[in-house]
Chain A
Amino acid sequence: MSGQIWDVAIIGGGPAGLGAAAELRRLGVARVVVLERFETAGGIPRHCGHPPFGLREFRRVLTGPAYAARLVEAAEAAGAEIRTRTSVTAIRPGGILELATTDGPQELRARRILLATGNRETTRAQSLVPGMRPVGVMNTAALQSFLYEEGRAPFARPVVIGSELVALSALLSCRRHGIRPAAMVETRPRVQTRRAFGLLPRLFGVPLHCGAEILGIEGRGRVSGVRLRLADGTEHRIGCDGVIFSGRFTPEAALARASGLALDAGTQGPRIDAEGRSSDPLVFVAGNVLHPVETAGYCWDEGRRMARRIAADLAGSLAAEAPRPALAPGPGLRYVVPQALVPGRAVTLNLRAEGRVRGRLVLAGPEGREYAAASVNAAPETPLRLDVPALADLPAELHLRLDREG
C-alpha cells in the first residue's frame, strides 16, 4: 500500500464518476482518482453503439463509445488519475477502500469517497420468470456488449421483453446488426415510453404484445421459444433463439450493501441527504446507483453537482452531518432522491411515480403547509422533478404527495 492519501476516490468510471472527476480537478481539488473495474472507463455508454449522446456535455451528437472516450479524455486532461481493472471490494469507515487489482488486494485511503457504481437491468432470475433456463437469455447491456465490444451476434431472432427506452435501444442495435427480433413483449398494460417511440416496433415490423404474461421460456440447451398469455387471454407461442430482458433498472448497490451503507427501500440504492452524503458522511453518491434510470447526461451533471458539494466539504464549508428529517414518498410514488433535506440547501427532488402521471406534486409539512409544489404530466417510467427552495427551518416530518387528476 502506498502512503499517499487521495483527496477524493471515485468508485466507478461512468458518466457520473468521470463528470465528477473533471469537476473536482477544475475546482482545484489536487488528488483525484477514479477506480474503474473494467479495462476501459466510460461506463454503460461504452457499448451503446448508437447516438444520441453528448448533447449536454459536448454540444454535439456522439455515439456511446465516442462519448465515453470523450468523458475519459476530459477527466484525464483535467488531471484526474483513472485506474482501470481495479475493483473496490469494501468501503470501510474513515475513507479506506479495499481494492482488487491485477497485482492482488490493495488498500487505498481518501479524504472523501464518491460512490458512482451505476445500475443494471433486472435479470430474468430476479423477475422470477418461469420456464427453462437455456442459453440465449440476456439483458440489453449484454447484447450490446456482444455487438459493439466483441463484434459478434449472440442470436439471430430474439424476443425483446420490456418497452422502456432501453428496449428501443435493443431494437435499434438488433436492426443495425441484421438481427430480426421476433416480437416485443411488455407485461405491463401499455408501452413504457412516449407514444412516438412506441411506434418504433411497428415501424420495424416487430409484433408488439402489451399486457402479456410470460408463461415460460422454452428450450433445453438453447432458447427455442417463449410462451405467452396475451392480454385477451389466449395463449401464444413465439419461436425464437434468444430472449432480451430489457429495462427495470436496479442500482448496482452490492458494494454499498456489503459496506453497510443505509439503503432506500424505494430505489434499492444508498440513501443520501440533500448534500449528497450517504449514511457514512465521508461517502457521497452520484449517478444511477441512486435512482434507476436517468440518461448519461443527467448522471454526468449529477456527478458534477456532487463534485461541488465534495469540494465544499473538503474546504470545510458544508454543514456538519446531523440527523435530517426524512422525506416520505406518499401513495403512488415509488421513490424520492435525496431522501433527506438539509437546512438552507435548495434542492431539486428526483421522483418517480407508479404508471402514467397527471396531477400535482406537493411537499407538505405538518398542518398541511406546502413547502413546494408542481404540476406534473408524464408517461410511465419518466422521472419527475420538484424544486425545493432553501429552507432555514425544516419541520420534523415532511411528506411528498401526488394529487392525481382525472
Chain B
Amino acid sequence: MVGAGTDADVAIIGAGVVGCAMARRFALEGARVAVIEAAPDILSGASKANSAILHTGFDAPPGSLELACMQDGYREYMEIRGAMNLPVLETGAMVAAWTAEEEARLPALLAQAHGNGVGDARIVTGAEALEREPQIAPSVRAALLVPREHLVDPWSAPLAYATQAKMLGARFLFNAPLSAARREGGIWHLQAGDTALTAASVVNCAGNQGDRIEALLLGRSRFEIRPRKGQFVVFDKASAALLRTILLPVPTERTKGVVLTRTIFGNLLVGPTAEEQEDRERPEVTRPELETLIAHAGRLVPGLAEMPVTAVYAGLRPASDRKEYRVHAEPEQGYFCAGGIRSTGLTAALGIARHVFGLWQGAGHAAAPPADPPVPVMPNLAEHLPRDWQAPGHDGIVCHCEMVTAREIRAALDSPLPPGDFGGLRRRTRCAMGRCQGFNCLARLSSMADDRLSRPIAAEAGA
C-alpha cells in the first residue's frame, strides 16, 4: 500500500479551482488526501476572479495539453453537474469583428475551432450578429459564433469538488502556508502553518505561488510565474437584459482580450484587463483601467452607458514565462505540478486533475476507489433557476440586492466546508455582492457569521 506510515498519500498545495478538482479526483480514486491552503478559505487567489465561462477550447492551441484538459473538463462538468446541482447558462459566444482587420482573421479562427473539434462554430454576418444581439453596436461586421460556450457559477463548482473530496475523507488545512519541506526516505515532511504532516507525494496547485512552491520543494523551479492582473466591472442586474451571448474580441497573441458577458447571477460583466505586474499578492483595482473597461463596454453595447456599476474587482492570473500549462512530474521525488494555469483553469480543472492523476498512477502509485462515493448537492445561486427565497420557510431575506435568505447563510456556515472569511461567505451565498455592497446587510451578516469565521467581518475589539 502506498504511503503507509504517512498522514496522506497526496498533499495538494493550494485550494484554488485546480487544487479543489485535484482533491476530488484523488479522493474519488481512493487516495488519502490533504489539502494545504495559505488563506482562510478555498478560492482565495487566482480562482476568485474570472469571467466564469465554460470554454469549448475553440481558440486553444491545437494539440495542446490545455486544449485536451479543457475539453475533458467541459465533458466531465456536463456529466456531474446534474447530480451536484451545478448550473449552466447556455448562452453561446460570438467573437465579434468590428474592423476589417479583425474580420479578416475570422476564417483562421474558424479553421482553428474546427481543427479543435468544435464543429458547430460558424461565421455569421454582421446582420445575423445584430439579429441575435440587437443591443450591440451596429458597426459589428461579422462574428464567429461558438454555440456551446456557456456560463457557470465559478465558485459553487470548485466548492462542490472540494466538498466531495471532504466527504470522501480529504483533510483541509486553512491558514496553513507551506513554510518548510524535506523529503526523507521517500516521504515528504511538510510544515503547513502550525501543522506538520507527512505525505508520499505532493501536487503543486499553488497558482500564483507555483514556482516558489516548486523551488521550496525541489530547490529549483522549472518555471517562473509572471502574474497578470485582470480587472473587471460588474454592471447592475438591469443590464443583463441587454445581452444574451458572450461577446469575445478577436484574440491577440498575448491575451484573449476583454470579454463582455452576462453572469450566471444575472449581472453583466466586462473584463479582464491584462496587466503584467511583479507583485503576487496585490490585485489592486485602478481607476483609469476601470474607466477604460466601462467606456469599452459602452461602445460595444450602447445601452450600458446609463447602467450603474455594481461592483469592481481584480484578480491575478498565474501566467508563466511560457504560454502553455506547466504540468510536469518528478516521480522519484513524489512531486507533481499543475502550474501556470491561466484563465482557462475553471473549465480545464477537472481535466487537469484527471491528467495529473494519470501521471501519479503512471509513476506506480495505486489506490482503491471507494464504491458509491457520496455526491454533494449544491445550493443554487444562478438567477435563471429557482432560488431559495422562492421556497417557503427561508426565515427572511438578509441580502436584498442578491435575494439571499437567512436559511442560505446558515446552511453555508453549517456546510461541510464552511467559509473561513467574509469573501468565502460571499462566494457561497452571494451576500453583499449586489448593488448596495452591504449598505443594508453587512452588520447583520457580521452578527450571523463572525464567530464562525477565522477572519471575522468586524475587527476584534481592541484590535
Binds B, one of A139-147, A273-281, A369-377: A139-147
Structural contact, A102 and B458, CB atoms closer than 8 A = no
Within 8 Å by CB of A37, from B287, B313, B394, B397, lies B397
Residues of A near B291 (CB, < 8 A) are 128
Q: Does B461 reach chain A (CB closer than 8 Å)?
A: yes
Q: Does A108 reach chain B (CB closer than 8 Å)?
A: no
Structural contact, B396 and A120, CB atoms closer than 8 A = no
Structural contact, A139 and B447, CB atoms closer than 8 A = no
Residues of B near A56 (CB, < 8 A) are none
Which A residue's beta carbon lies closest to that of B39?
A: A221
Structural contact, B309 and A125, CB atoms closer than 8 A = yes
| Interface size counted on chain A using CB atoms at 8 A | 52
Residues of B near A37 (CB, < 8 A) are 397, 400
Residues of B near A138 (CB, < 8 A) are 438-439, 442
Least Cβ distance of A257 to chain B in Å?
Answer: 5
Question: Known contacts A125-B312, A135-B422, A152-B447; is A142 also within 8 Å of B236 by CB?
Answer: no
Please provide the chain B residues from 263 to 318 with a CB less than 8 Å away from any CB of chain A in the complex: 281-287, 290-291, 306, 308-314
| Interface size counted on chain B using CB atoms at 8 A | 53
Structural contact, A146 and B309, CB atoms closer than 8 A = no
Structural contact, A128 and B443, CB atoms closer than 8 A = no
Q: Does B413 reach chain A (CB closer than 8 Å)?
A: no
Structural contact, A254 and B238, CB atoms closer than 8 A = yes
Q: Does A123 reach chain B (CB closer than 8 Å)?
A: yes
Q: Does A136 reach chain B (CB closer than 8 Å)?
A: yes
Q: Give the complex CA separation of A12 and B150 in angstroms.
A: 38
Structural contact, B403 and A154, CB atoms closer than 8 A = no
Q: Give the complex CA separation of A141 and B422 in angstroms.
A: 19
Q: Give the complex CA separation of A205 and B437 in angstroms.
A: 30
Q: Does B444 reach chain A (CB closer than 8 Å)?
A: yes
Q: Does B357 reach chain A (CB closer than 8 Å)?
A: no
Q: Does B253 reach chain A (CB closer than 8 Å)?
A: no
Least Cβ distance of A127 to chain B in Å?
Answer: 9
Structural contact, B395 and A154, CB atoms closer than 8 A = no
Residues of B near A265 (CB, < 8 A) are 306
Which B residue's beta carbon lies closest to that of A242?
A: B459
Q: Does B430 reach chain A (CB closer than 8 Å)?
A: no
Q: Does B228 reach chain A (CB closer than 8 Å)?
A: no
Which B residue's beta carbon lies closest to that of A220?
A: B281
Please provide the chain A residues from 123 to 163 with a CB less than 8 Å away from any CB of chain B in the complex: 123-126, 128-133, 135-136, 138-139, 141-143, 145-146, 149-150, 152-156
Residues of B near A153 (CB, < 8 A) are 458-459, 461
Structural contact, B437 and A149, CB atoms closer than 8 A = no
Which B residue's beta carbon lies closest to that of A213?
A: B287
Within 8 Å by CB of A87, from B281, B309, B311, B397, lies B397
Give a binary string over A93-104; 1 marks a CB under 8 Å from any B CB, 0 the rest: 000000010111
Q: Does A105 reach chain B (CB closer than 8 Å)?
A: yes
Q: Give the complex CA separation of A78 and B30 in angstroms.
A: 68
Least Cβ distance of A183 to chain B in Å?
Answer: 17
Give a binary string over B420-461; 1 marks a CB under 8 Å from any A CB, 0 the rest: 011100000000000111111011101100000001011101
Most chain A CB inside 10 Å of its own CB: which residue of B390, B440, B463? B440
Structural contact, A142 and B458, CB atoms closer than 8 A = no
Structural contact, A150 and B443, CB atoms closer than 8 A = yes
Structural contact, A141 and B439, CB atoms closer than 8 A = yes
Structural contact, B455 and A135, CB atoms closer than 8 A = yes
Structural contact, B436 and A133, CB atoms closer than 8 A = no
Structural contact, A132 and B392, CB atoms closer than 8 A = no
Q: Does A216 reach chain B (CB closer than 8 Å)?
A: yes
Question: Known contacts A254-B238, A254-B401, A258-B238; is A154 also within 8 Å of B310 by CB?
Answer: no
Q: Does A308 reach chain B (CB closer than 8 Å)?
A: no
Least Cβ distance of B309 to chain A in Å?
Answer: 5
Residues of B near A221 (CB, < 8 A) are 421, 455
Residues of B near A39 (CB, < 8 A) are 396
Q: Does B393 reach chain A (CB closer than 8 Å)?
A: yes
Please provide the chain A residues from 22 to 74 with a CB less than 8 Å away from any CB of chain B in the complex: 37-39
Residues of A near B362 (CB, < 8 A) are none
Give a binary string over B375-398; 1 marks a CB under 8 Å from any A CB, 0 the rest: 000000000000001111111110
Within 8 Å by CB of A154, from B390, B391, B457, lies B457
Q: Does B462 reach chain A (CB closer than 8 Å)?
A: yes
Residues of A near B447 (CB, < 8 A) are 150, 152
Question: Known contacts A120-B436, A154-B458; is A104 also within 8 Å of B284 by CB?
Answer: no
Give a binary string over A76-117; 1 marks a CB under 8 Å from any B CB, 0 the rest: 000000000101010000000000101111000000000000
Which B residue's beta carbon lies closest to that of A139?
A: B439
Residues of B near A257 (CB, < 8 A) are 236, 238
Give a binary string over B216-250; 1 marks a CB under 8 Å from any A CB, 0 the rest: 00000000000000000000111000000000000
Structural contact, A254 and B236, CB atoms closer than 8 A = yes
Q: Give the complex CA separation of A123 and B309 in angstroms.
A: 10
Structural contact, A222 and B459, CB atoms closer than 8 A = yes
Which A residue's beta carbon lies closest to that of B387?
A: A100
Residues of A near B458 (CB, < 8 A) are 146, 152-155
Least Cβ distance of A22 to chain B in Å?
Answer: 25
Q: Does A268 reach chain B (CB closer than 8 Å)?
A: yes
Q: Does A241 reach chain B (CB closer than 8 Å)?
A: yes
Least Cβ distance of A269 to chain B in Å?
Answer: 12
19 more contacts with CB within 8 A, not counting A141-B439, A150-B447, are: A39-B396, A85-B396, A103-B392, A120-B439, A132-B283, A133-B285, A138-B442, A142-B442, A145-B440, A146-B442, A146-B446, A150-B446, A152-B443, A152-B447, A152-B458, A153-B461, A154-B443, A156-B463, A220-B281
Could you jot down 24 A-B contacts, CB within 8 Å? A39-B396, A85-B396, A87-B400, A104-B392, A120-B439, A124-B437, A125-B310, A125-B312, A126-B308, A130-B287, A132-B284, A135-B423, A142-B443, A143-B443, A146-B442, A150-B444, A150-B447, A152-B447, A154-B442, A155-B458, A156-B462, A216-B284, A241-B459, A258-B238
Which B residues are closer than 8 A to A by beta carbons? Answer: 236-238, 281-287, 290-291, 306, 308-314, 389-397, 400-401, 403, 421-423, 435-440, 442-444, 446-447, 455, 457-459, 461-463
* Top 10 A-B residue pairs of the complex, sorted by shortest distance between their CB atoms: A145-B443, A146-B443, A123-B437, A142-B442, A104-B392, A154-B458, A150-B443, A150-B447, A155-B459, A139-B439
